[in-house]
Amino acid sequence: MNFFLPDVVARQLPNVVGRLGLGGIEPVRRLVSRAVINKFGYATTLRPRALSLASDYTSWLSLTDRTFSGRHLPPSTAVQQAALPPEAEVVALYRRERLTPATDTSVMFMFFAQWFTDSFLRTSLTDYRKNESNHEIDLCQIYGRNIDATNLLRSRQGGRLKSQLIEGEEYPEFLFAPRDAGQPAVFKPEFEGLFDPAFITEVILRSASEQQADTFFAVGLEHGNSTIGNTVMNVVFLREHNRVAGILAGENPAWDDERIFQTARNILIVMLLRLVVEEYIMHIGPFDFPIEAVPLIADQERWNRPNWCAIEFNLLYRWHPLVPDTIGSGPGALDASGFRNNNPLVLEKGIEAITAMCSKEPAGRIGLMNTPVFLVDSSNPDWPSVEQVTVALMRKARLRSFNDYREAYGLPRLTGFDQLTPDTEVRQRLTALYGDIDKLEWYVGIFAEDYPDYMMMGELLTCMVANDAFTQALTNPLLARNVFNDATFTKTGMGIIKKTSSLQDIVTRNATSPEAVHVSFSYGSIASLNDNGRTR
Amino acid sequence: MNFFLPDVVARQLPNVVGRLGLGGIEPVRRLVSRAVINKFGYATTLRPRALSLASDYTSWLSLTDRTFSGRHLPPSTAVQQAALPPEAEVVALYRRERLTPATDTSVMFMFFAQWFTDSFLRTSLTDYRKNESNHEIDLCQIYGRNIDATNLLRSRQGGRLKSQLIEGEEYPEFLFAPRDAGQPAVFKPEFEGLFDPAFITEVILRSASEQQADTFFAVGLEHGNSTIGNTVMNVVFLREHNRVAGILAGENPAWDDERIFQTARNILIVMLLRLVVEEYIMHIGPFDFPIEAVPLIADQERWNRPNWCAIEFNLLYRWHPLVPDTIGSGPGALDASGFRNNNPLVLEKGIEAITAMCSKEPAGRIGLMNTPVFLVDSSNPDWPSVEQVTVALMRKARLRSFNDYREAYGLPRLTGFDQLTPDTEVRQRLTALYGDIDKLEWYVGIFAEDYPDYMMMGELLTCMVANDAFTQALTNPLLARNVFNDATFTKTGMGIIKKTSSLQDIVTRNATSPEAVHVSFSYGSIASLNDNGRTR
């Protein structure tokens, strides 16, 4: 399916070029990056697709109403559905008994992935067919999902977001008004309307203590305080927004708050896009090569079609095995309750310490039998577990089989479980559940598929995530030919974008002790940094 | 700007091929059509554009919020704006003293154009920067602009739209409940919520008599009854929808109302798209060649980017000179009050008689000094005239000059008014108003530009309307590679689409006397029909 290079060349070229150290030569880097991006961009048929979750046949709604999740393949048949094993047995496949660590992926990567994907994969709680996002990388995590939310979050001075200083460090403002112990949490008047109060009370605050809730920050998304990772990412991007706004305000004294804000946002979004491609997808990708977000690449390509997040994209991103049992060791170690809803910890330790801790900690290895028990087993009969919800959603979406998806992405169908994985226990369990490799469910297959140490997930999962990521990140309107220029970002803004290719860059700029900053998606990376600041 | 053929070849090829009679040979027709569509598709820079009317600099809003009109070129400077003549003097340029008829364009064309464009060029009455349409050709004229409106218009039986039989002929239902004389018009309960009642009362009913209002039909858009043309088009498409729904229901006994409705709508929209390209744009185009809506053409092209109607597209479509002073002659002749708000006439004469009458009647010639007085001069100090509103909108949009737009569309800048038109009066008036051809306003220039008899508007206007039309009609999701197939339309539906290339086809299918039907965008066309059913 790659129109530019034979498959074997496209697969090996980046590694060969990378190992020869040619990735630093701009024209080479650009050429290889283009080949890699297009290899994945054209891995399957292109948007627009005939179906969404709106209906099983094509309608004007299924073609235009993006509140419904898209779908890559049509639904499976009733006969296929009837032959599937019970959901509970599928859920059980994921249960971790003992953590298998990732080869080099850090907990920082996990937190980034969660924070990043929460902005565009927002399954509705009332209608599983719907995705409440804008289908764009728009940094709604700090700007809110719509203009009303954005307005509540802006200070209206100097293009800045509202923030507060705590012991000399900048954080978002607190969401709730001060209260006496035992009183319910109430939004500060200035944040009324930011979120549905019922959702906050019934879902978000259910698992948070009073002390935790009182330090919840007012950020763009409801889940913005749910892990120390979400909080850290929001704080870092808020600081960077206000830093950039300050620079723009200084250089453009005639600009009003509105123009400074909008221009800073333009810069911040593209900064995020760059690090998504050049650090994050790069980390996921199977190549030993510094992939570049080639300027204007989408302009020429047929995969440049309106974004529409598919249900498969939503589901394949449930990388629950990345979640460790604990972060750190010894008396300061955090278990799951320690890294959830824990803004007090972030305030106590600070951004640099938390990001460094998460960067040195191995994430779990993506695969079956490696998801923490608290995500697999429900602790409350009224609330299904995260993995139960996921498997139920997968079933409701009536997806085609693992092999059907392999075929749709240009990969050969497997003919037996032995081709899927050498792991005898997994083989045995899947054979018992499904009997035939052709009956293996897609959601199970992408986690069961074995992969070498230099990859972080199986072949189909890699291909699918890269396809959706490249064809929906690089279509961002800020990267378009008429837009990606000094007029949109200012010359200074273009310079800031150019100087940003990693999260480490952004954290460092906003740190009180820049030399102490260590942020990496590879937990073992300090010793083995190469010229590109990358390990793989 | 044409990447496929040198300009002179692209310009002459269709005529040469057409005159050689080769347009009927499918591969030739397809090749030439592709060349013509791409010539116009690539006539200027492509979407997405940096600016909309949201702001004069690029913001996330200007890049994503399509409730604001787009803009092709950035705004003019304050200095340029200060040098412009008074609006009233510009409006006066349009005033008709004596009708100049179009070379061959009929009043049927005018009515079609009005009905067609009202569906995607919907300037907000409360904020001139906004366009309240979906930016798609979605047949909202009969289906409504959103799902709530659609639901009110559907019968929920057999996939049909609600309709009534009047003397054996099918019409939409009446919008208002029966009332006593002198009582206010009130929506039928089943149509409550279809439109904003205040807008209907304060704007739509202002110029309609009680008898006229009582026969207003419940259709998709507020202005759906404002002219006999809008009414005729809505009736024709409603009949065709219900006819197609009947066929689908007969062939697919297992289908429910929903599936029949959605599939019929899919078919109807593509039918409209075909006749827009193959009859309507064909009529506008300067070529003597039967342009084809080449299947899947957009799939390959860089102009295939999300639709976004620009303010220039909105303004260039103000073809008020097409409006005649009267339709017909003798005692039955209709003046402007006769062809507005006149459903009683449509009910009396029937669709075939009205369409035949309009098809034989010359429209006015597009140009300055040819707009009917009732559209130029306000009859009420509280309500500006249509042309006054238009010129005011053009000024508020702060558009660049006529020459700037010529340049942006790859045409040479003019160096004097003598290159614009041989009409000495026009030259004289424009020289007096603007002095310098470089100061000539775009909206005036596109109407002042002279053109030969085989065209129906000037070079720049032709180029701009064709660019926006091709690149926004052919991007319709129903025409996309994964969608344009039997699964979406059924085999029968594909056959119906294939058999439809003119409005005449659709009217004929739904007529009581098919042999009497005569529908044409060329008023002199009966005698000179060529093999393709076209005259030019």
Q: Which residues of chain B have pLDDT under 50?
A: 1-4, 526-536
For residue B143, the chain A residue with the least C-alpha distance is A60
Question: Angle, nearest 10°, between helix axes A459-473 and A26-41?
Answer: 110
pTM for this model (two decimals)? 0.95
Q: What would the two tokens of residue B511 be?
A: 């007529």
CA distance B192 to chain A (A): 23
Size of interface A-B (CB pairs under 8 A): 105
Nearest partner of B401 among B174, B80, B141, B145, judged by Cα: B80
Q: Confirm or reject contact between A45 and chain B (CB < 8 A).
A: yes
Separation of alpha carbons B230 and B253, rounded Å: 34
The answer to whether A326 and A333 are in contact (CB under 8 A) is yes
Dihedral sign, Cα of residue B247, residue B248, residue B252, residue B253: negative
Mean pLDDT of A226-231: 98
Q: How many CB atoms lie within 10 A of CB A170?
A: 16
Compare CB distances from A259 to B45, B57, B482 and report the shortest one's residue: B57
Closest residue of A to B58, CA-based? A488
Residue of B nearest to A301 (CA): B302
Amino acid at A178: P
pLDDT in tens, A349-404: 999 999 999 999 999 999 999 999 999 999 888 899 999 999 999 999 999 999 99
Please answer whether residues A116 and A142 qualify as being in contact, where contact means their C-beta atoms are separated by less than 8 angstroms.
no
Q: Residue B352: what residue type? A: E
Using the Cβ of B233 and the Cβ atoms of chain A, whether some distance falls under 8 Å is answered with no
Coil, strand, or helix at residue A287?
coil
DSSP labels, B308-319 = --BHHHHHHT--
Confidence of residue A3 (pLDDT cuts 50, 70, 90): very low
Q: Do B478 and A49 lie within an 8 Å CB cutoff?
A: no
| Cα A218–chain centre separation | 21
Inter-residue contact B55 to B35 (CB < 8 Å) = no
pLDDT of residue B9: 63
CB B408 within 8 A of CB B45: yes
Cross-chain Cβ contact B269/A63 below 8 Å: no
How many contiguous H segments (helices) and E segments (strands) does chain A have? 26, 6
Task: Give yes or no for a cis peptide into B286 (omega within 30° of 0).
Answer: no
Chain A residues whose beta carbon lies within 8 Å of the beta carbon of residue B477: 48, 63-64
The 8-class DSSP code of residue A329 comes to: -
CA atoms A52, A55, A58, A63: torsion sign: negative
Q: What percent of chain A has a predicted confidence (pLDDT) above 90?
A: 87
Q: How far apart are CA A476 and CA B113, in angstroms?
A: 34
Considering only CA atoms, which of B282, B236, B266, B280 is closest in space to residue B494?
B266
- Inter-chain contact A262–B61, Cβ cutoff 8 Å? yes
Burial bucket for residue B258 (CB in 10 Å: 0-12, 13-18, 19+) = middle
Sign of CA dihedral A224, A228, A229, A232: positive
A266 burial (CB, 10 Å; 0-12 / 13-18 / 19+) is buried
Residue A8 has a pLDDT of: 60
Of A65, A136, A302, the CB nearest to B64: A136
- Exposed (0-12), middle (13-18) or buried (19+): which is A194, by Cβ within 10 Å? buried
pLDDT confidence of residue B229: 98
Q: Do A45 and B263 touch (CB under 8 A)?
A: no
Rounded to a whole number, what is the distance in Å from the CA of B236 to chain A's nearest CA?
A: 21
Cβ contact, residue pair B58, A488, below 8 Å: yes
Per-residue pLDDT tens over the stretch A20-62:
888 888 899 999 999 999 999 999 999 999 999 999 999 999 9
Q: Which residues on B lie below 8 Å from A63 (Cβ)?
A: 477-478, 483
Q: What is the pLDDT of residue B322?
A: 98
> Residue A72 and residue A44: Cα distance in Å, rounded?
9
Give me the sign of the Cα torsion angle B191, B193, B198, B200.
negative
For β-strands A101-106 and B169-171, DSSP reports them as: unpaired
Pairwise CB contact (< 8 Å): B262 & A61: yes
The tokens describing B243, both together, are: 């006819």
> Among A60, A263, A488, whose Cβ lies nearest the Cβ of B138?
A60
Q: Can you tell me the distance from the alpha carbon of B79 to that of A370, in angstroms, rounded to the nearest whole number?
A: 68
Structure tokens at A522: 């590879």
**Residue A420 in tokens:** 């899927």
For tokens 């709730």, name the residue. Answer: A176
Residue of A nearest to B55 (CA): A259
Assess B347–A contact: CB distance below 8 Å, yes or no.
no
Q: Which pLDDT tens digit goes with each residue over A126-146?
A: 999 999 999 999 999 999 999
Query: Is A533's pLDDT higher than 60?
Result: no
Which three-class secondary structure state does DSSP give residue B441? strand
Residue ranges and CATH numbers for the domains of chain B are 7-173+217-516 (1.10.640.10)
Q: Is residue B299 within 8 angstroms of chain A, CB to CB? A: yes
So what's the pLDDT on residue B4? Answer: 45
DSSP per-residue codes, B164-193: EEETTEEEPPBSBPP--TTSPP-B-GGGTT
Report the alpha-carbon distance of residue B529 to residue B523 in Å, rounded.
11
| Residue A21 burial by Cβ neighbours in a 10 Å radius (0-12, 13-18, 19+) | exposed
State the angle between helix axes of B107-117 and B228-251 in degrees (0 to 180), rounded to the nearest 10: 70
Residues shown for chain B: 536
Among B57, B300, B482, the residue with its CB nearest the CB of A45 is B482
CB neighbour burial string for A89-125, b if at least 16 within 10 angstroms, e if fewer:
ebbbbbbbeebeebbbbbbbbbbbbbbbbbbbbbbee
H-run or E-run covering B148: helix B147-153
Name the phi and psi angles at B238, rounded to 5.
Answer: -65, -45
- HSE (side-chain half, CA atoms, 13 Å) at A344: 9
Contact flag A482-B136 (C-beta cutoff 8 Å): no
Residue numbers in B near A480 (CB within 8 A): 48
Chain CA centroid to CA B308, Å: 16
Residue to test with chain B: of A60, A259, A271, A488, most B Cβ within 10 A:
A60
Cβ neighbours of B337 (radius 10 Å):
11
Provide Rg for chain B, Cα atoms: 23
Q: Residues A36, A277: contact at Cβ < 8 Å?
A: no
Chain A hits for B136, CB-CB cut-off 8 Å, are: 64
Name residues 51-80 of chain B within 8 A of A (Cβ).
Answer: 55, 57-61, 63-65
Q: Measure in Å the smallest separation between the Cα of A304 and chain B Cα atoms.
A: 8
Residues A459 and A465: beta-carbon distance below 8 Å:
no
Residue with tokens 């749910």: A226
Block residue for tokens 């419904």: A68
Contact (CB<8Å) B60/A262: yes
Rounded mean pLDDT of chain A? 94
* Cα(B92)–Cα(B368) distance, integer angstroms: 9
Bin B209: left if φ > 0, else alpha if -120 < ψ < 50, else beta: beta
- Do B138 and A477 make contact, defined as CB atoms within 8 angstroms? no
Q: What is the pLDDT of residues A88-113, one digit of tens each?
A: 999 999 999 999 999 999 999 999 99
List of residues 6+ apart from A125 with CB closer than 8 A: A199, A203
Name the pLDDT band for A10 (thresholds 50, 70, 90): low
Closest of A37, A52, A17, A90 to residue A429, by C-alpha: A90
Put simply, whether B138 touches A (Cβ < 8 Å) is yes
Q: How many helices (H) and strands (E) does chain B have?
A: 26, 6
What is the CA angle B274-B161-B506, rounded to 5? 30
* CA gap B33, B11 in Å, rounded: 12
Nearest-angstrom CA–CA distance, A520 and A533: 9
Q: Distance (Å, rounded) from C-alpha B519 to C-alpha B536?
A: 16
Interface residue B265 vs chain A (CB under 8 A): yes
CA distance A184 to B410: 65
B50 contacts chain A (CB < 8 A): yes
Residue B496 to residue B502: CA distance in whole angstroms: 12
Helix (H) or strand (E) segment spanning residue B376: helix B373-376
Which amino acid, residue B154?
A: R
Buried b (16+ CB within 10 A) or exposed e, A229-251: bbbbbbbbbbbbbbbbbebbbee
* Token code pair at residue A509: 């700029």
Handedness of CA A294, A297, A303, A304 (dihedral sign): positive
Give the bridge partners for B52, in sequence order.
B55, B70
